Amino acid sequence: MHWRDIPTPQARGDSSLVRVEAAGANFLDTLMIRGQYQVKPPVPFTPGIEVVGIVEQPGPDSPYKAGDRICAMLDLGGYAEYVVVPRNGSEPVPGEMTALEAAGLPIVYPTAFLALRQRANVQPGETVLVHAGAGGVGSAAIQLAKHWGARVIATAGGADKIALCLQLGADAVIDYRAEPIAAAVRRETGGRGVDVVIDPVGGDVTKESLRCLAWGGRLVIVGFAGGSIAELPANRLLLKNAAALGVYWGEYRAHHPEIVAQLFRDIFALHKVGVVRPLVRDVFPLDQAERALQAIASRDTVGKVVLLPDAAQG
C-alpha cells in the first residue's frame, strides 16, 4: 500500500462528494487487497467500504446539500480524504452520533441486524452463540441479541476480550483458546445446544458451530475472518432439522434497496436509546492504514477499527 495524492473525484447523478471525517477498516479489506475476496477490483485501487463525512459537492440529483453529514457504505475508495458517495447506501447522521461511532455503523450493525432478525428470526428466550464477540460484527450481535430478549453466549480469545464481551452484555463467554467450543456450549446449555449461531470466522469454527446447534437451530454465516471457507457436512443439518444461512449486506443495495434506508433508521433509533453502542478502541491515522490492516489480520484489535484522515501527515 502507498500513500499518495490522486485527483479529487467528481460527484455525478445522485452521488455526492464527501470530505471524509473517518473511515471504517474491515477484515474484508485485507482479503480484497490480497485478491481473496469475492469482489476483485483491478489494481491499483483505494480500499475502504464505509465512511462518515461532510458533503462538499452534491451531484445534480443528490438529495443532500453542502454541509450535510452522512455515513455510507461503498464499493471502494473510503481510505481517502475525499470520496464520491452514492445515494443508495448513505444516510444522514443523527446529531448526537460522533464521527467514530458513525464510522463503525454502516457495515457491522446492519450485518448483525439482518443475521439475527431477518435471516435467523431470533425470538425472546432463545440462545444465541456469537463467535468473535469482541470483533465488529460480534460486538454488534451481542448488543442486538440481548435487546431482542435472547440469552447470549460469546466466544473470544484471552481475558481482555472475554471481559469486553461481558461488558457488552454477553451472559457467558467461552475462551476458545482454553477449551473446545462445542464442549463448552454443551456445558452452558445443559446439553441442549444453541438456537442461533452468528459466525463471522469461517473454517473450522463453522464446522464446530454445527455441533453446537440445538434441534431446529440456525447457523448464520456472515464472513470468513479465519481465512478459510468451510465445507459443511450436510448430514448434521439434516439430523438436527437445522438451517445454514448467509448474509451479504453489501448486496442488499442491488437486490433489496428498499430495505437499506429503513435499516439505517432502525439502527439510528436503537443508538438513540442506548442499545447500539459502537465499540471503537483502535484508531489510526489514515496514512497508517497498512498498520491498521496488519493489526486486524493478526487479531490484535477489538470492535471497530477506524482511520482518521485529519490525523494523517500528508
Rounded to whole angstroms, the Cα distance separating 101 from 97 reads 6
The amino acid sitting at 74 is: L
Considering the entire predicted model, what is its pTM?
Answer: 0.95
Q: What is the pLDDT of residues 160-189, one digit of tens each?
A: 999 999 999 999 999 999 999 999 999 999
Q: What is the pLDDT of residue 226?
A: 76
Say if residue 202's pLDDT is above 80: yes
The percentage of the chain sitting over the pLDDT mark of 70, rounded to a whole number, equals 99
Domain covering 108-249 assigned CATH 3.40.50.2300 in the classification? no
With 70 as the cut, is the pLDDT of residue 152 above it? yes
Distance from CA of residue 87 to its chain's centroid? Answer: 20
- What confidence tens digit (pLDDT) does each residue in 204-225 have? 999 999 999 999 999 999 998 8
Cell of residue 228, nine digits: 478459510
- Summary mean pLDDT of the chain: 95
Determine how many CB atoms are found less than 10 A away from the CB of residue 32: 20
- Ordered by start, the domain boundaries in the chain are 16-105+278-311, 108-249
CATH code of the domain occupying 16-105+278-311 = 3.90.180.10
pLDDT at 134 over 90: yes
Reply yes or no on whether the pLDDT at 227 is more than 80.
no
Which pLDDT value is given to residue 153?
Answer: 98
Q: What are 40-95's pLDDT values in tens digits? A: 999 999 999 999 999 999 999 999 999 999 999 999 999 999 999 999 999 999 99
- Show the CA angle centred on residue 224, arms to residues 276 and 107, nearest 5°: 30
Q: Work out the percent of the chain whose per-residue pLDDT is above 90.
A: 91
**In this structure, what are the phi and psi dihedrals at residue 110, rounded to the nearest 5 degrees?**
-60, -35
The cell numbers describing 191, all together, are 446439553
pLDDT band at 37 (very low <50, low <70, confident <90, very high): confident
**198 alpha carbon, distance to own chain's centre:** 12
Is residue 128's pLDDT more than 70?
A: yes
**What is the spatial distance between Cα 197 and Cα 130, in angstroms, rounded to a whole number?**
6
Crossing angle of helices 27-34 and 289-297, rounded to 10° = 100
Decide if pLDDT at 6 tops 90. Answer: yes
The residue written with cell numbers 462538499 in the block is 56
Q: How confident is the model at residue 314 (pLDDT cuts 50, 70, 90)?
A: low
Structure confidence at residue 299 (pLDDT): 87
